[in-house]
Amino acid sequence: MDSTPRAIHHLNCGTMCPRGARLLAGSGGLLEPTRLVCHCLLIEGAEGLVLIDTGFGSADVAHRRQLGAIFNTLVRPVLHAEETAAAQLRARGFDPGDVRHIVTTHLDLDHSGGLPDFPDAEVHLLGDELRAALHPGLRERTRYIPAHWAHGPRWVEHEGGGEEWFGFAGVRVLPGSGEEILLIPLAGHTVGHTGVAVRRGDGWLLHCGDAYFHHGQVQTPPRCPPGLAAFQALNQVDGVRRRENVERLRELAERHGGEVELLCSHDPATLPAAS
């Protein structure tokens, strides 16, 4: 298998419109809805397609109740069938069955919903994340949705050790990717959360998942709308590690911004306009 990257497509696989634009986005009314996205990547490799995260899937669109009443009420996902990764692949002329590998930053409900639409793909993730999702504690039961893996995905767990990349340790290489797709552990939001680095020309694109939520957090000086800061603190499993990782990412952007472009899952500002 050779999935050396050729082209990278940016997909929004889920729009969410929570109320509170002023606190969540920094401008607008207190109760005005804002717009968050689920930024996924589709990578054309030499032998197949690789997806980084899957957003919401067709079963979420058909059965929104499976996402839970709290999530639906507060986060207000739009759930359009045409936004699913599978539909967007078809719209671009690809066959979803050609997706050989999926790398998930983590298994939160807004990142794993598309997994059932790609039942034959290998699903790569950190072992800590899979264990947390399959055996959630009381606090984690609303973030992980068992329906998203009821089809029995072909999990491929990646464990510790690994390489170093720009000072980040424990880095795993996606097998067969020619060392061009890397899992960069960024725990804190969830226990096994990972970023995914994709080589692009002379540099790298680093999908940071939910390691941070607003582009200002990795700028110098850092900034973040207060509502988004509170949301991240409420949804973290390890605040110390989460804040450490945000700081490491800010330093990475400051020192190596010419070589590494960072993006995060939910900030529409880091999603290319055409997506």
Torsion of CA 147, 119, 207, 40, to 10 degrees: -80
If residue 66 lies in a helix (H) or strand (E), which one and from where to where?
none
| Residue 274 neighbours by CB under 8 Å, 6+ apart | none
Distance in Å, CB of 48 to Zn ion, minimum = 26
- Interface residue with Zn ion among 129, 210, 213, 252 (CB under 5 A) is 210
Nearer to Zn ion among residue 39 and residue 158 (C-beta): 39
Distance in Å, CB of 179 to Zn ion, minimum = 27
Distance in Å, CB of 259 to Zn ion, minimum = 26
Nearer to Zn ion among residue 108 and residue 129 (C-beta): 108
Nearer to Zn ion among residue 108 and residue 122 (C-beta): 108
Q: Determine whether 76 is exposed, middle or buried from the number of CB atoms within 10 Å of its CB (0-12, 13-18, 19+).
A: middle
The window from 26-34, 61-69, 210-218, 228-236 that contacts Zn ion (CB under 5 A) reads 210-218
The count of chain residues that interact with Zn ion, using the rule CB under 5 A, is: 3
- Number of Cβ within 10 Å of residue 101's Cβ equals 26
Nearer to Zn ion among residue 54 and residue 177 (C-beta): 54
The window from 41-49, 112-120, 203-211, 246-254 that contacts Zn ion (CB under 5 A) reads 203-211
| Residue 230 neighbours by CB under 8 Å, 6+ apart | 23
- Tell me which residues in 232-251 interact with Zn ion (CB under 5 A): none
- How many DSSP H helices and E strands does the chain contain? 8, 12
Nearer to Zn ion among residue 101 and residue 189 (C-beta): 189
What's the rounded Cα separation, in Å, for the pair 190 and 168? Answer: 18
- Interface residue with Zn ion among 53, 83, 110, 180 (CB under 5 A) is 110
What's the rounded Cα separation, in Å, for the pair 248 and 206? Answer: 13
For 78, phi and psi rounded to 5 degrees? -75, -45
Distance in Å, CB of 177 to Zn ion, minimum = 24
Nearer to Zn ion among residue 60 and residue 108 (C-beta): 108
Distance in Å, CB of 24 to Zn ion, minimum = 13
User: Can you give the binding site for Zn ion, defined by CB under 5 A?
Assistant: 108, 110, 210
